[in-house]
Structure 1
């Protein structure tokens, strides 16, 4: 049975977790569970509470898949949390697949798990990945050996299907896609900075300038601890 450990943490973005879990929980012969430093409820960015099945100490040592969701509001303090970074570094060193969606890749990078790998992240912070020795690839889902990373938020659905295909084959992944009727037809073509109106992208960056600066500072400090800067 596959052991799939999904990190949860305060202020994570819900869809980053739920999107992938929608598919991973339907792999068959797989145990999917949430992990946090303790078993107290973890409140997400949307105000929903999640319960960890395992704390860091009880989490299986040899995971088949280590997964980290994103959510910049929660990722920044998590990058600064030695317990989180130590847990990811430990389990990630042995996991068969080390994976993330959105800003979760910043946590993997801070744990020293992306050095020399091609990876992606949320569009507003993906330029920070080279601080950790990673090669930035501006794609929806990136596979490099046993590292699989997805872009922001809704990319978790594509990530989940991709990982399902890797683990169970393309036919199984297609079955899951139809099962949940994943047939995206957005009303606008503004889901990537390269295609969205420049004024929209600039407005988002302006509104989140303080948060983006905090992310850069946290990532730089983590990279410095790894001897990368």
Structure 2
């Protein structure tokens, strides 16, 4: 079972590493990172470097494609070769998925037109420019296309994928093994629960403030 996660400069680390942690535990699964060019890829936060040996164009098919987000995802929207590759690989997958603003890449590839989809709340308007309808759900599935909301939501998407790729018992075991049992100290993880002050501060942080 071949699971491919493309990385690009300024990717959001948890978008990729969170799902990787869970999916790598699926029996008979192989998770591969690919990139525009082989080498060391830097994340958007600046301290993580991932050595990626494989160029994405070397991959002609896979069972699962998982596209992370981050500032780099927006830059990749202008890379027609990459977008064409996503569209082509989608034809071969069992599941084509995105985390956070990775949904914009699926949108640019024409995969979300006419569908409801989710992404980071700061990118909801951008998502709809590709013909999708934004929904605030944490994970949205349409047949083999799955999108998740921002950053940590990719873990929820990946856990659901674990069941689809194996079975619910295995997915529950992976959840236990990774002790994925969220109990956050604050209830500010979505626009539905965050106060206006929290939303304003989050916007400041997103813009570097």
- Residue-by-residue CA offset, 1:63-118 (whole Å, 9 max, x unaligned): 111110111x2122111222221221221233221101111001111111212322
Give 2:114's aligned residue: 116
Q: When the two structures are superposed, what TM-score results if normalisation uses the length of structure 1?
A: 0.85
Deviation at 1:158, TM superposition (A): 0.8
Tell me if 1:65 matches 2:64: yes
Q: For residues 168 and 56 of structure 2, what CA distance do their matches in structure 1 show?
A: 33
Q: When the two structures are superposed, what TM-score results if normalisation uses the length of structure 2?
A: 0.93
Q: 2:94 aligns with which of 82, 92, 96?
A: 96
Superposed, 1:80-229 pairs within 5 Å as 80-206=78-204, 208=206
1:21–1:208 Cα change, 3 Å: closer
Contact 1:120/1:136, CA 8 A, preserved across alignment: yes
Deviation at 1:130, TM superposition (A): 2.2
Moved over 4 A (4+): 206-210
Unmatched 5+ stretches in structure 1: 211-229
Give 1:19's aligned residue: 18
Contact 1:93/1:113, CA 8 A, preserved across alignment: no
Number of aligned residues: 207
Q: For residues 77 and 57 of structure 1, what CA distance do their matches in structure 2 show?
A: 18
Give 2:50's aligned residue: 50
Unmatched 5+ stretches in structure 2: none
Q: CA RMSD in A?
A: 1.6
Contact 1:4/1:33, CA 8 A, preserved across alignment: yes
More helix by share: 1
